[in-house]
Amino acid sequence: MPRSYEDYELFVDCFVRACLAHTQLPAETLQTEVDRWCSAWRALANAPSSDVGTEHSPPRLLPPSTTSHLAGRRSHVEELDRLLAGSSAKEEVPLVSITGPPGVGKTALAIHWAHRAAERFPDGQLYVDLRGWDGDHEVLAPETVLSRFLRDLRVPDAELPSTLDELEARFRSETADRRMLLVLDNAAGPEQIRPLLPGSRHCRTVVTSRAPLTGIGARAMPLDVLSETESFELIASLIGVVRAQDEPDAVSLVARLCARLPLALRIVGEGIAVRPAISVAEAAEEIADESTRLDTLGVGTDEAHDIRSVFSWSLRYLSPPAARLFRLLGLHEGPDLPLPVVAALADMPPAAARHLVHMLVRVNLIEQRPGGRYRFHDLLRLYARERAMDLPQEQRIQAVERLSAWYLKAGDASDRVFAPSRRRVPIHDRDLPHVPAAPPMADHRAAFAWGDTERENVLSVVRQCAREELHEVAWQLPAVMGEYFYLRKMWADLYATHKDALPSAQRTSLVAEAWIRSNLGFAGSHIGMYREAEEHCRRAVEATTSIGDPMSTGIAWNNLGIALGGLREWDEALAAFQRALELHRSQGNQWGEAHALMNMARAHAGRGEWDAAVELYVRAGELHGAIGNRVVEGTVLHELGLAHAAQARWEQATDCYQRALAIHNEVDNRIGAGITLDDLAAALLARGHRDEALDRWRQALIVLEELAHPRAELVRSHLESAQR
């Protein structure tokens, strides 16, 4: 129980502040109410007057903490303990700035820690919301804040200075001999903070802001979203541990849908907590739809707990060009984007685009990643996508055209590396908007690196172009990326992009339709859809024959043979490959000839005709090597090794595997390297080289596990069997 008038007055002070915590009263109005209640208490209890000159309890102006345990920020709380209230003078710093994107929990962390550490600051704790990122109020001027702080320190109004310099000096004088804690919440920038810093080496200050605070000597503490474990912990603290443990998968799903953003997690968790009849799975279903997720993450009229409102406060403080860029970036539907794509969307040179996008980075609306790439937080991506609709439709379409043009040109550059001797996708640069140049791709390694980085973006751009009816690029982009998907054995991606592209190709030309159908048949054969693949390829043969394009007809026959081979119709498959071979030879197309020979070899291998298969593999490998098609040359050498192994010719098989492995490593064909290492190990073991075989299996396992390739399990079983 309180043991003095001062203790009772402190109790009344804290009680009134707690009761009014959710009213969103301005700070000065709140202080007036507190003073009024404290005066009433003194009158009722016949307590000593609080006139200036009498001894007073120190100011304790911290807002109520929402929880005694701050889920997911344990390491940050411990770091604040070490930096601001540590036992070692070497560890302590006078000022820490907590920064991060909107909704990440900066204020919650600052207030939670301040309550935890309050007793270490016996001369009081001061708090102010500086309204730096407040959509409804003006930013508080330093003069206003200093006047308020001086009143909190019992300086009479008559003694308050009138200028900022004098206010700063008086504040530093008043705090010079005190050990106090200041929490400066929601700061606009360093210029707002600098005049508010106390002069005592015993005082400590915590600042929160969406923007980095440089030039004030602060130790930066950037916050990110929570981990999966921390997100589960936060939701469990809101809905109850038992309820969370009853539906762990649903809780994890809620965390993913909220992108592990603390504000979103708290909104959903509190919504579940007040509805005991609803399951966590049902709550997850309510936010599953991206198109309505931000609607669900809005609560009544409380802007501080509405995701859109919280995000919008940052947008309002951007310059018009930066705000326009934020909206334009919302049109990019992939996971991240490089600077040239930012520039393409903004329709400006990369240097100017870098300057603008760094304005967004500065206020944590977008995250800068290694390699000059940028990424939205998932919920901010949804908000940016909504705000993109503020732009006129014509501007949106033009931006998507520039976006797709950059990916088309870059994809074509990679295609020229992978298949320099193959026919080119008919792209007319004069019909494309001007965009930044594609990145240099001097060799297979560089082209693979670009494709690996941009793969998911390419998939999203293909879908977007098909949806926006940008028919020309909607079929051309999958076509130029086809060789990459084939060489990386990404059959599902090859099939999906061409399936999306087919309606656009049909609306464009018979050439486009034939190209997409031929590739779609090729992809379908590799995912076991042989009859559908056969149909696409036959229609491609008819279309290319009708327009008099023998090279494309040869490719269609080749792909038809692959589908027939999948159906074990070997005679028909070999006939199709023979037609392809004749057409390619008639056109002097060595690239097509080499592929036809390779597939004929595979058909003979499928029938167990190993001598014929070996002869054709040798011819195909030599031709692929002659035209510089190194990736496929490595594949052919590996398959030639398999043909030798099928006849127990282990020395020849070993030689082929080793030559194939050298090429795989040269061109960064990691999947090919992992598979070849597996078969090389088997050949070495068959020759009695057990230790060397074990070493190759270990290498294969490392490569395939890194790629999450399904063959890794088979390699592990080979390794375990050989070690017994």
Q: What is the pLDDT of residue 508?
A: 96
Q: Are residues 28 and 158 in the same domain?
A: no
Assigned domain for 146 exists: yes
Domain annotation covers residue 685: no
253: in domain = yes
Report if residue 513 sits inside a domain: no
Q: Who has greater pLDDT, 501 or 138?
A: 501
Q: Tens digit of pLDDT for each residue in 111-147?
A: 999 999 999 999 999 999 999 887 667 889 999 999 9
Token pair recorded at residue 653: 């098989």
* 215, 236: one domain: no
Residue 369: strand pairing partners: 373
Tell me: do 123 and 144 sit in the same domain. yes
Residues 274 and 371 occupy one common structural domain = no
Half-sphere exposure of 560 (CA within 13 A, CB side): 25
Which of 222, 251, 268 terminates a domain? The answer is 222
Percent of the chain with pLDDT over 70: 90
Q: How confident is the model at residue 31 (pLDDT cuts 50, 70, 90)?
A: low
**pLDDT band (50, 70, 90) for residue 84:** confident
**Has residue 444 been placed in a domain?**
no
With respect to residue 400, please indicate whether it lies within any of the assigned structural domains. no
- Check whether residue 105 and residue 120 sit in a common domain: yes
343-354 residues labelled b (16+ CB within 10 A) or e (exposed)? bbbbbbebeebb
Of residues 276 and 32, the one with the higher pLDDT is 276
pLDDT tens digit sequence for 532-556? 999 999 999 999 999 999 999 999 9
Range of the domain at 9: 1-57
Q: Which of 405, 394, 399, 434 is nearest to 327 (CA)?
A: 399
44 and 129 both lie in a single domain: no
pLDDT at residue 147, rounded to an integer: 93
Residue 109 pLDDT greater than 90, yes or no: yes
In this structure, are 214 and 91 located in the same domain?
yes
**Token couple for 445:** 């390694």
Kindly tell me if the per-residue pLDDT of 61 is higher than 50: yes
Provide the pLDDT for residue 21.
65
Task: For residue range 224-243, list pLDDT tens digits in order.
Answer: 999 999 999 999 999 999 99
Q: Order of strands across the sheet with 181-187?
A: 125-129, 181-187, 204-209, 95-99, 219-222
Specify the CATH number for the domain of residue 188: 3.40.50.300
Task: State the Cα–Cα distance between residues 704 and 712, nearest whole angstrom.
Answer: 5
Give the Cα separation of 648 and 685 in Å (integer).
Answer: 12
Supply the DSSP string of 411-468, one letter for each residue. Answer: HHHHHHHH-TTSPPP---GGGSPP-PPPPP--SHHHHHHHHHHHHHHHHHHHHHHHHT
**Contact present, 407 and 433 (Cβ < 8 Å):** no
Q: Indicate whether 235 and 368 sit together in one domain.
A: no
202, 263: one domain? no
Q: Is the pLDDT of residue 87 over 70?
A: no
Range from 319-323, 421-425, 678-682 carrying the lowest mean pLDDT: 421-425
Whether the per-residue pLDDT at 617 is higher than 60: the answer is: yes
Q: Tell me, what CATH number does 379's domain have?
A: 1.10.10.10
Distance of CA 473 to CAs 8, 707, 710, Å? 74, 30, 33
pLDDT band of 296, cuts 50, 70, 90: confident
Other C-beta atoms lying within 10 Å of the C-beta of residue 711: 16
* pLDDT score recorded for residue 134: 77
pLDDT more than 90, % of the chain = 80
pLDDT digits (tens, 9 = 90+) for 11-29: 666 677 777 766 666 655 6
The count of domains in the chain is: 4
Query: What pLDDT sits at residue 46?
Result: 46
> CA-to-CA distance for 636 and 484, rounded, in angstroms?
17
User: What does each C-alpha distance from 657 to 217, 319, 678, 695 come to in angstroms?
Assistant: 61, 60, 10, 15
Average pLDDT over residues 292-313: 78
What pLDDT shows up at residue 52?
39
Q: What residue has token string 């270990």? A: 698
Same domain, 107 and 122: yes
How much is the pLDDT for 25? Answer: 64
Q: One-letter amino acid identity for 235?
A: I
When the pLDDT of each residue in the chain is averaged and rounded to a whole number, the result is 90
Q: Which residue do the tokens 């007057």 mark?
A: 49
120 and 198 inside one domain = yes
7 pLDDT above the threshold of 80: no
**Distance between CA 664 and CA 660 in Å, rounded?**
6
pLDDT in tens, 385-435: 999 999 999 999 999 999 999 999 999 999 999 988 888 999 988 889 999
Give 189-210 pLDDT, tens digit per residue.
Answer: 999 999 999 988 889 999 999 9
Q: Final residue of a domain: which of 222, 241, 266?
A: 222
The answer to whether residue 262 sits within a structural domain is yes
Domain final residue, candidates 333, 367, 391: 391
For residues 87 and 214, membership in a common domain is answered with yes
